[in-house]
């Protein structure tokens, strides 16, 4: 299916690995020119070369901390007027006792997962409105809809971001600019591997065995974790020409783990 976005210019923040990388790959396969930001130069440049080689698209690395003022200025100097903007970031750590989570940790999470995306949205929507076309997608977390004590650094700021995006979607919709979010559950990403590998070692299991045990324990109906490329394909659908009538929405992508119908 042709998504109608060939030739569009896409900015993917935090796209050197995981779901950001899956999204950048999906957009490149659709013929977008893709700009990917990340802090680590080596992995970012490898990712850009690999995506360009597979897709034939133009893929540009932007080495910057997109959550910092300096990084944001550098990124927007390179591409101030993307047709498509996708925001993601490295997930904050899972937490133990909520009473031990420091104020500093909360402030960092809010700055990265809420305030930083808002700053980009404010910057890129002007050109989108002027041209009469734009797509914004936040790669968020299922914890924004289904709160969990171990995800208090992740869910609350991203729930606030969903609220903000729904509110401003009303202002953007008349200009063919949409803003949506995907709320992933458990997916195979480097961040999840960092969480699961120590658990696997402690339990005398392989990574795959630990994942299978986790799937059984939390009762994921699909019987597996998701993968970054299938998540990226969903993000690309939100960016498509055909998705112009979908805005202000938050789609949970968790293999059926959630229990609500809306």
Three-state DSSP class for residue 112: helix
Report d(CA 1, CA 217) in Å as an integer.
37
The pLDDT of residue 200: 94
Per-residue confidence band for 91, with pLDDT thresholds at 50, 70 and 90 = confident
- Distance, in Å, from the CA atom of 106 to the CA atom of 86, rounded to the nearest integer, reads 23
**pLDDT-based confidence at 96, cuts 50/70/90?**
confident
Mean pLDDT of the residues in the chain: 95
Token pair of 107 as six digits: 């402030």
Q: What's the pLDDT band for 90 if we cut at 50, 70, 90? A: confident
Q: In what order do the strands lie in the sheet with 134-139?
A: 59-63, 33-38, 9-13, 84-87, 134-139, 177-184, 250-253
Where along the chain do its domains lie?
9-186+228-253, 187-224
pLDDT digits (tens, 9 = 90+) for 115-169: 999 999 999 999 999 999 999 999 999 999 999 898 899 999 999 999 999 999 9
CA distances (Å), 42 to each of 19, 128, 209, in order?
A: 18, 32, 31
Among 93-107, 173-187, 202-216, the range scoring the smallest mean pLDDT is 93-107
Report the candidate in 140, 139, 167 with the shortest Cα–Cα distance to residue 155.
140
Confidence of residue 195 (pLDDT cuts 50, 70, 90): confident
- pLDDT tens sequence across 40-49: 999 999 999 9
Q: Domain 9-186+228-253 carries which CATH code?
A: 3.40.50.720
CA dist., res. 212 & res. 127, Å (int): 46
pLDDT for residue 114 is more than 90? yes
* Tokens standing for residue 236: 């690309």
pLDDT in tens, 57-83: 999 999 999 999 999 999 999 999 999
Q: Tell me what pLDDT residue 92 has.
A: 81
Question: Is the model's pLDDT at 187 over the cut of 90?
Answer: yes
């Amino acid at each position: 299916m042709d998504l109608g976005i060939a030739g569009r210019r896409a900015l993917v923040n935090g796209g050197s690995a995981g779901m950001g990388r899956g999204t950048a790959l999906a957009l490149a396969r659709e013929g977008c020119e893709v700009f990917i930001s990340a802090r680590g130069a080596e992995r970012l440049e490898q990712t850009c070369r690999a995506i360009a080689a597979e897709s034939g698209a133009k893929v540009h690395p932007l080495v910057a901390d997109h959550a910092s003022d300096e990084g944001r200025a550098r990124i927007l100097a390179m591409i101030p007027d993307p047709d498509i903007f996708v925001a993601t970031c490295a997930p904050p750590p899972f937490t133990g006792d909520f009473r031990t989570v420091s104020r500093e940790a909360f402030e960092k999470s809010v700055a990265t997962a809420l305030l930083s995306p808002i700053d980009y949205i404010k910057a890129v929507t002007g050109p989108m409105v002027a041209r009469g076309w734009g797509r914004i997608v936040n790669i968020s977390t299922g914890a924004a809809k289904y709160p969990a004590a171990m995800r208090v650094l992740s869910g609350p700021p991203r729930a606030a971001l969903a609220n903000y995006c729904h509110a401003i979607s009303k202002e953007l919709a008349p200009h063919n600019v949409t803003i949506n979010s995907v709320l992933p559950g458990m997916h195979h990403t480097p961040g999840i591997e960092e969480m699961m590998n120590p658990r696997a070692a402690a339990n005398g299991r392989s990574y795959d065995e630990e994942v299978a045990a986790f799937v059984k324990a939390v009762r994921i109906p699909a019987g597996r974790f998701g993968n970054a490329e299938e998540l990226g394909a969903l993000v690309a659908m939100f960016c498509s020409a055909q998705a112009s009538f979908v805005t202000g929405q938050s789609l949970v992508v968790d293999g059926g783990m959630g229990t609500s119908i809306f």
